[in-house]
Structure 1
Amino acid sequence: MQNTKLIPRQVLFADPEKLNVKISPDGKHISYLAPYEEELNLWLAPITNSQAAKPVTKSKQPIKDYCWSGNGDFLLYIHDEKGDENWQLHGFHCETGSYHSYTAKGCNAKIIHISAKKPEQILIGLNQRDSHYHDVYLLDLAANHMECIWQNNAYWEFIADDELTIRLGVKITLQGGEYLDLTQAEPECVAKVTQHDLFGLYFYPRLRLGLSADGTQLFLAQSEKTNTSQLSAVTLSSKQLSVLGGQQNADICDILLDPQHKIPLAYAVNHQRKAWFGLDKETEQEIRFLTAFDDGDMDIVSQTKDNQLWIIAYVRDNGPVGYYLYHRDKKTLNHLFDSHASFSQYAFTRMQPQNIKTRDGLECVSYLSLPLDKQQPVPLVLMVHGGPNFRDFWGFNPIHQWLTNRGYAVLSVNYRASTGFGKAHAMAGNGEWGGKIQEDLLDAVAWAIEQGISRKEQVAIMGRSFGGYATLMALTQTPEVFCCGVDIVGPADLETMAANFPAYWKTMQGVINGMMLGCDPDTPEGKAFLAKRSPIHSVNKITKPLLIGHGANDVRVKQSESDHMVAAMQANGIPVTYAYFPDEGHQFMHPGNRMAFYALAEAFLANIFQGDVEPQDKNLHTSMVVKVDDFKLTK
């Protein structure tokens, strides 16, 4: 195969040049994550000159996320150690340049509440005392002193007011979750959410809305009486619930809050693409103006405390994310920068939304990407998302762009269980690991072949986490459908996976059992069900090539899952290539490691489909260890 211009893996899989852009509460500074010595670090620039940014951290571990303190004095950021997901909280004082390490290694920290009323302090959660539960601590940012104000033995989340007083706790039930009033001697339920809503809260952090500034109302996205989640308000004194907005075809996925009053101004849903809806005339007019400005999906990613300046991001499927500063009073948009300046040198394909119907009539929103200069049919890679309760999105997808540039079509399917398409779609996947979810994937392959996109004998499957599991199931249960598979951090044995979940997932165990596993893994019946759905017990059926990658510090799917799968394949005389990364976890955070693994995958696919190949970079900074290489991909 010949392609117009090979896009280097360095361009596609390096960290963005600018990511997670935010404006300070007073509107004087712009902050973002960007590489410093190959790892994501925090950068800061004056609002008057966004090109004059300087790194304010020099962490050797990639920074995962960050936020501003209530008055903008501190930038608060988290990172873990080599992918162990024990998030450590740190702070940088923007005036003095001093650094603070607030939490120790070995425990998981999370921010619970930041208040402009009490900007010197924040509430954080730490599972230091008991790894299963996050106790609540009041942290003094400047003094680097904390005290425990709530010893937790029951709650998944806490909601505080702007006085930094714990007001509500979210407790998981078999049906979903309850918001309990913790100011009462006997906590009373003020609102309920479904299991489906809880996964929305997990995957979309901006849905954790909390209380109005005056503490009288709770805002939440819930679907107790509807199929899709609705933006709702609960008056705490009366427990009366009112619906503020929502759509019938997709769940609430994002909220715009008034920063001062903490009242919703707009909400977004994402069916095929993201769409915003204002809750008042002025906000609706602004959203229409902003949406019309660019063909990409518009996001309002950050606001000043007075709500006069917004950072707007335009997500495109064939180019970089564009970041703009929006002046609400002037109604002007000023371009700040793009996420990837290097993208201008290359031609990228478009991502086509598709609705694919399954054999039982379920409609799955899917995304198809095709090579720019190839006549169909072409080899197809079925790219399976994780979760299984996560979802695929429209936008720039590096894996789609990489594979189409090498000559392959790529199809991503929001199979049953995927979050965002309503309760019925999500719950249709309850307990369907290796069952109807797998059938949805097969139906998508059949659709692609019927459309003339690919041929029956030219289909590969690839995925991360649950997608890796789906890959293993595909090669053990339906090897006649797929030419090969790439499994990244996928579980091979559902019994051992369930037994080794992170301790702090205990508060979510009811939802995990109900929506993910479909059984109680501690019962004999549950163990038998999981064994039946585990590819480790059908290794002898594998007849097609398999590439496996794993992070040694993965706490969600232990590396032993892949170790056991590879050992079983070797015991059965079945060839495999297996690579692992000593400094990674469930995600490959270091760009050199991503590039190294995808170089293996590129060679692997090219051996089968004769696609285009960029030579492997022997000088790449990577920790990758190729433990088994029966397919000689590193030659």
Structure 2
Amino acid sequence: IPMMVDTLPQFPNKVLISVNRRPSSVWKYRDVYMVDLNTNELTLVAAEPALEDELFGSWILDNNAVPRGFSSNHDKGEDSKPNSPRDGLFEYYYLYNVADGSFEKIWSCENREACFHPLTFDFDDRHLFGVGQAINPDGSIHEYTDTNALWLFDTKTRKFVEKVFHDKDFDFSNPEWGDNNGYVLKDIVNKKLLGLSYYTSKREYIYFDQNYANIRTGIESAFPGQTVSINPSDTMDKFIINTSSDRHLRTTYLYDLKKGNIQLIDKYAPWLEEYEFGKMQPISFTARDGLKLHGYMTLPPNYKKGTKIPFIVHPHGGPHARDRYGFRPEVQLYATRGYGVIQVNFRGSTGYGLKHMNAAKKQWSLGMHDDLLDGLFWANEQGYVDMDNVCISGASYGGYSAMVGITKNADIFKCAVNYVGVVNLVSIMGDKQWMFSDMGRPSWNKGMGHQVDDRELLERASPINYLDNIKGELFVVHGRKDRNVSYKQVLELKDALEDKGIPFEYMIRGDEAHGFYAETNNLELYTEMEKFLKRNLN
């Protein structure tokens, strides 16, 4: 199946795709072709190289769509070795060597260690923007910044020439964990660097081009309180505008700069406009061990200042992901029912630097969970929380956290919603499903705990072993087709709860996987969840 690589605005009516046209190796190689949309002619641009003990990742293209490098992952040998198939422990970056026409391995990145990730070429097609730490080709560190900075690297001299941007609290981007939210803004057609965009608690912009700055700030002023994204035409005189906020879903407009008019194109879920939603507030506080943490608190739309209200702790999944500012349907479900919601980007969440990430090593149910509690305690100190009415609800890792909460902190949480969450770290690590298979297990061994060497740690961090501590009510949700967190986890939990005579509610759907997608199932799920919370939170 062909996949889009680049829409090539600098080459009208042409796009780049990746597709396998090698009949002898249909399962492996994805070569890059330029497609002429007028003639449907395909021209080979780059053939995926044959790599020994490595799995090809993606191409690094310059501004003329010429392959100048590529990424790969480690893909070696037996499971017993540290570097097993696609283990996620190593990523490599190659650059083109003009001298002999080969690709030279420049950077070797170990999981959770300092690394440099190429992003895009400057318009001279010599200097390469990249994010992370300035790691020289010989492995030495040119400069260490903890949070990922934006650098400029000279591909000819193989040296770093400039630290373009650095925020001491937030990563510019974090490609290692799929958190690709930092961008070098480029006008490809006119070959101009427009600025930078990255994420703190909200999206931020830094401008290099004053005309672009004037246009964007002018558009933003027309939509106060909204997050605004713009997609310009080649001539920079027409723009597709998308606006959204914590209380509004996406609205799309067409803006004609020359005429000065804005035309509505589409509103997503316009029927929600008649409802009032809760305001999402970025927060920050210090954890008990001194680590600075960030997150969000959402209060009901009719909240009266100085009132203590029932609260829901709502941890994100991953765990190496993060919560972001914006309209979150589940959060707004809670807020519009009168509950406050606290979302903590606990240690190990993406976007906050290496120290923050590595503080989560082997801290499941420990420091990672303490961060959730510290967020709740912070909100209580601010005068928002009725501590006699607190529940915890989350999905995936968040579901695991909910189970830890109701077993480890039974005196704090009156109820818990475990939505597709893990309950037994030992059994999940031995599962042959894809997430904990040979491909991913070594990375989990490093982050969560080794399935053999850290067996005792994993046992202590498994909520299945502490079900006798449960005092509050539990609601369990899972899909039979789940390949991230095996359905066997919920069966193990169900059997253990029934053996101990512990009451619980559960909803299992055979046509769902890692989260419900069918509208009828979601309607039933959130109807039952609303009843469950209403029964437990006064």
Same fold (TM over 0.5): yes
What percent identity do the matched residue pairs reach? Answer: 22
Is residue 136 from structure 1 mapped to residue 30 from structure 2 by the alignment? yes
* Counterpart for residue 362 of structure 1: 291
CA contact (8 A) 2:414 2:471 kept: no
Deviations 1:245-270 (A, max 9, x none): 23223222331333447875322233
Deviation at residue 434 of structure 1 after TM alignment: 1.1
Deviation, 1:457, is: 2.0
Native 8 Å contact 1:551 1:584 kept in 2: yes
In the alignment, what sits opposite 2:413? 482
1:169 and 1:182 in contact (8 A); partners too: no
What amino acid is the match of 2:511?
Answer: D
Counterpart position of 2:130 = 220
| 1:505-549 alpha-carbon deviations (Å, 9 max, x no partner) | 8666665444x42x343xx21344323312122223223211111
CA offset at residue 316 of structure 1? Answer: 1.1
| 2:137 alignment partner in structure 1 | none
Letter aligned with residue 220 of structure 1 = G
TM-score scaled by length of structure 2: 0.79
SS at match of 1:227: coil
Mapped partners of 2:475, 2:115: distance in 1: 30
Query: In the alignment, which of 240, 262, 273 is matched to residue 159 of structure 2?
Result: 240
**1:342 aligned to 265, 268, 271, which one?**
271
Q: Find the counterpart in structure 1 of residue 381 from structure 2.
A: 450
Offset at 1:477? 1.5
1:300 touches 1:310 (CA, 8 Å); kept in 2? no
**1:470 offset after TM fit, Å?**
0.5
Q: What amino acid is aligned across from residue 165 of structure 2 in structure 1?
A: G
| CA distance in structure 1 between the partners assigned to 2:114 and 2:263 by the alignment | 37
Q: Which 5+ residue runs of structure 2 have no aligned equivalent? A: 75-82, 135-143, 173-180
Q: Distance in 2 between matches of 1:198 and 1:342?
A: 47
Normalised by the size of structure 1, how large is the TM-score?
Answer: 0.68
Deviation at 1:562, TM superposition (A): 1.6
- Of 143, 157, 170 in structure 1, the residue corresponding to residue 57 of structure 2 is 157
* 242-251 or 484-493: bigger deviation: 242-251
In the TM superposition, what are the counterparts of 1:77-96 in structure 2 within 5 Å? none
The partner residue of 2:17 within 99, 106, 122 is 122
- C-alpha contact 1:159 1:211 (8 A) present in aligned 2: no
Question: Which residue of the partner structure matches residue 95 of structure 2?
Answer: 181
1:289 counterpart = 2:289: no
Whether contact under 8 Å (2:480, 2:512) holds in the other structure is yes
- In structure 1, the residue matched to 2:322 is 391
Tell me the alpha carbon deviations over residues 559-605 of structure 1, each in whole angstroms, 9 at most, x when there is no partner. 21122111211121111212122232223233332222111111111
- Structure 2 counterparts to residues 360-509 of structure 1, below 5 A: 360-374=289-303, 376-498=307-429, 499-500=431-432, 502=434
CA distance in 2, matches of 1:338, 1:563: 42
Instruction: Answer yes or no: is the 8 Å Cα contact 2:423–2:489 preserved in 1.
Output: yes
The Cα of 1:301 is off from its aligned counterpart by 5.3
Native 8 Å contact 2:435 2:483 kept in 1: no
Find the aligned partners of 1:604 and 1:313 in 2 and give their Cα distance.
Answer: 36
1:398: Cα distance to partner? 1.3
Residue 497 of structure 2: aligned partner: 569
In 1, Cα distance between the equivalents of 2:209 and 2:20?
A: 35
CA RMSD of aligned residues (A): 3.7
Q: Distance in 2 between matches of 1:336 and 1:396?
A: 20
Which of the residues 584, 599, 603 maps onto 2:512? 584
Q: Distance in 2 between matches of 1:144 and 1:527?
A: 53
Q: Distance in 1 between matches of 2:116 and 2:338?
A: 35
* 1:430-451 deviation per Cα after TM superposition (whole angstroms, max 9, x unaligned): 2211110111111122223333
1:482 shift after superposition: 0.4
- 1:386 deviates by 0.9
Letter in structure 2 aligned against 1:136:
R
Unaligned runs of 5+ in 1: 1-101, 104-109, 202-207, 611-635
C-alpha change, 1:480 and 1:504, in structure 2 (3 Å) is closer
Does the residue aligned with 2:386 lie in a helix, a strand or coil?
coil
What letter matches 2:531 in structure 1?
Answer: A
Residues 201, 325 of structure 2: 8 Å contact kept: yes
Deviations 1:366-386 (A, max 9, x none): 211222335522211111111
